[in-house]
Structure 1
């Protein structure tokens, strides 16, 4: 336990800095996605093109943004696959974060000069950044900690991230009116620089864990095809189940997110007011998440394994949608969203991540990246368009459909629980 303290502390700092940097940006991104002004989100040429064909692009803001986000994920997945196949961990981990820092510096210039279409481009980039940066983090944690350590520490590491997710929106709320949106991006750059430092410090413990467990060294290039992750997800029942959890989990969240966006467009038309609104919601979610992570997650994983961590949030979402289908009240929508996101971050996410400590490095880095990026955004894309159609029939229809999606989530969780029992407690990488 004492020997694990330094990597635990560096991991806490890493996840705190990563999520703090992201949540500084998230309210700005959400405010742009909720905007009813197409000119604030898309290039003028796109708006004119749509108007010439008889439809208003402002009526499809989220649908267009989610569609382009999915395309970006699909195009970048082979690039990431090639990077992790050809270069050792000490190279590709810093490269990923240096790339994101360079992008943020570029967006700082774009926002300062008010380049048209910046809103949509930034929305897509933040979504890509969040998926890949967090995926890389948890893949790296599976190199640093084994299964037993993961069950002891992932709740605390998650709590460090949750504290960062609490501080990030608070910084946005305090600073956005003082320094403006453009300079908020530099705040996020500073936190990503801390992430780079943590990666360098944690490399020693990752190598030590690999030597102790006779794992294949992460200091050597992994090799294999850039598309190996896609094949693994398609053929491995466990990875396929994890992909289904991701797909249906995104589905229940996306349906709620779109309902919330409609409310924000009505009551918070100003971008700064919308950013503050989203930061308050994020704060409530993260406060509940932190409470569960500190008091429940470690005990639950160590005593009962991943089964309750996966099933409790899934059943809670199903019950929430059932209540919304009976009485689609705005307050109940907000409460269900808070429960949905808090259950994901505090229980389901740590539960899934402990499973990746027991698989080989190709599944840990390549297949996991497919699940966390391509499958995630495929869910976004599917359900954002489904919501557009369901909204024609009213909120009750959205929530009845959500019950079906939540039932799919319960089924997928049961499948993963069954498959992960076939893994040894500390499977060696090859």
Structure 2
């Protein structure tokens, strides 16, 4: 008779096996080290800035957030901008994203990878140095400008990162490594706020911008070290070389998203995914304000959620993501988070209590970071480079911020009727997310596993 193994021993054994597997992968694949350091540095640099951005968005000093000319115009039309701070900032973010998309498309179309990747990060470093001066001189309207810039930086820098990873790793390696790379980013997301908390009192807000710039400089080093591995992968798979300009239209990304079923499905998946997150985030703020009027209690509540999200995300990334992707493909990674969110919204519609809100928030964010995001990103290893860089940028920036903008206003309209109405509407959005996930699963079945053919039949490949 086989002796039963206590669950605690099984958990420790699974964790030990996961750790040994992780060490073996690191020893086998040098680019994995650099990819993890790259994502760690990128998210650490971003999360150093995020508390500053959130503080600006919540600031009661209108002159610090908005330029005087905009305040004067709003006052002349009988509008108090402080009543619409987040809505105004989200609208501004979306407009800037749309305006920057053709510029990014031109950069990708006319310059090879060795040029446009460093240029993107050097541009962001230069912006941080500019904000260093602006904050030191307390320029009016700095808060709104910084809020919008950080949102743009996050979208474009992370999009470029994952596009580059699809150049470095093929589909099989993506399934093996993306969970680990995501864990590197999670560690950066933990380290960034900790650095801000530890250093803001000593260095001040403006000097933290230089800390973030230092992490972006480290990203540049990682790009240089990973470039030979991207060239090697392209040669092995007879793929189009990223060392030559991609060519094509600067708005090709929009055309590709519109014309290709997989890219359309990915756009819908991100749109509804952002929608459920935005509705939940905004309604959570209203519920917390009602149940925890003491700022200390509210801060404790939020910190418990963030800690739980990061711990659960890291655990899944190290122990589950790789196994799921390699054994079952992207279907579980996309469908499990979607149905978990749908169940969470159904519970919240019946009982919108802070505990259930917290549980749903943890499931939503941890599922996205540990399963949904790696699952989507592996698909880009199987499409052509134009889809990988141009279409992906449209989806991750314009579609993402368009969804943000849409649902922040939808929430403002629904919130008048109370939390239950918001969560009932959220059930519909979550159902849309599940349907979009299923469309992605079906559409990706037509892609080659080795990534040698493109997603729509157009040849953007080199002959062997």
Distance apart, 1:229 and its partner CA? 0.6
Q: Which of 31, 37, 42 does residue 55 from structure 2 map onto?
A: 31
Q: Tell me the residue number matched to 2:367.
A: 343
2:259 paired residue number:
235
The 5 A counterparts of 1:329-368 are 329-368=353-392
- Moved >6 Å (runs of 4+): 263-270, 272-280
Q: Structure 1 residues 278 and 128 mapped into 2: Cα distance closer, same or farther (>3 Å)?
A: farther
Bigger mean CA offset, 347-356 vs 176-185: 176-185
Secondary structure of the 1:284 match is helix
CA distance, structure 1, for counterparts of residue 301 and residue 72 of structure 2: 31
SS in structure 2 opposite 1:248? helix
From the superposition, tell whether residues 196 and 268 of structure 1 become closer, same or farther in structure 2 (CA, over 3 Å): farther
Structure 1 residue 370: Cα displacement: 0.5
Aligned partners of 2:293 and 2:221: how far apart in 1? Answer: 39
Shift of residue 280, structure 1, vs aligned partner: 6.3
Equivalence for 1:286: 310
**Aligned-partner Cα distance in 2 for 1:120–1:283:** 28
How far 1:257 moved relative to its partner? Answer: 2.1
Quote how far apart the aligned CAs of 1:264 are. 7.4
Whether 1:323 aligns to 2:359 is no
Q: Deviation string for 1:231-282 (max 9, x for gaps)? A: 0000100000000001000101111222344467787999x99999867654
Q: Give the structure, 1 or 2, with the largest relative contact order (CA under 8 Å, sep 6 or more).
A: 1
Q: Which residue of 1 aligns with 2:22?
A: none
Counterpart of 2:70 in structure 1 is 46
Give the Cα–Cα distance (whole angstroms) in 2 for the partners of residues 286 and 31 of structure 1: 21
Deviations 1:94-117 (CA, angstroms, capped at 9, x unpaired): 000000001011111111211111
Note if contact 1:315-1:410 (Cα within 8 Å) is conserved in structure 2. yes
Does residue 89 in structure 1 map to residue 96 in structure 2? no
For 2:159, the equivalent position in structure 1 comes to: 135
- SS of residue matched to 2:347: helix
Instruction: Specify the alignment match of 2:230 in structure 1.
Output: 206
Instruction: Give the Å deviation of 1:286.
Output: 1.7
Give the stretch that moved more between structures: 335-344 or 93-102.
335-344
Quote the Cα distance in structure 1 between the aligned partners of 2:64 and 2:297: 15
Is the partner of 2:204 in helix, strand or coil?
A: helix
Query: How many pairs were matched up?
Result: 429
Q: Which residue of 2 aligns with 1:123?
A: 147
Query: 1:10 maps to what in 2?
Result: 34
1-side partners of 2:217 and 2:39: how far apart?
Answer: 12
User: Equivalences for 1:50-65 in 2 at 5 Å?
Assistant: 50-65=74-89
Q: Does 1:250 align with 2:278?
A: no
Q: Aligned pair 1:408/2:432, yes or no?
A: yes
TM-score by length of 1: 0.95
Structure 1 contact 258–384 (Cα < 8 Å) conserved = yes
- Note the alpha carbon deviations across 1:58-106, whole angstroms, 9 max, x for none: 1111111111100000000110000010000000000000000010111
1:337 alignment partner, SS class: helix
* Equivalent position of 1:395 in the other structure: 419
Greater shift after overlay, 84-93 or 34-43?
A: 34-43
Aligned to 1:424: 448
2: CA distance, partners of 1:9 / 1:414: 33
In 1, Cα distance between the equivalents of 2:434 and 2:224? Answer: 39
The alignment yields a C-alpha RMSD, in angstroms, of: 2.2
> In structure 1, how many angstroms separate the alpha carbons of the residues matched to 2:110 and 2:452?
22
- CA 1:269/1:42 → structure 2, altered by over 3 Å: closer, same or farther? farther
Task: Work out which of the residue numbers 200, 213, 219 in structure 2 matches 1:189.
Answer: 213
Moved more, 253-262 or 302-311: 253-262
- Counterpart of 2:90? 66
- 2:327 counterpart residue number: 303
Aligned CA distance change for structure 1 residues 253 and 12 (closer, same or farther; 3 Å): same
CA radius of gyration, larger in: 2
Partner residue of 1:384? 408
Query: Is there any run of 5+ residues in structure 1 with no aligned partner, and where?
Result: none
Q: What's the CA shift string for 1:33-67, capped at 9, x where partnerless? A: 23344334212332333233223211111111111
Is the aligned partner of 1:169 residue 2:193? yes
Distance 1:279-1:133 versus aligned 2 partners, 3 A rule: farther
Q: Which runs of 5+ in 2 are unaligned?
A: 1-24, 454-460
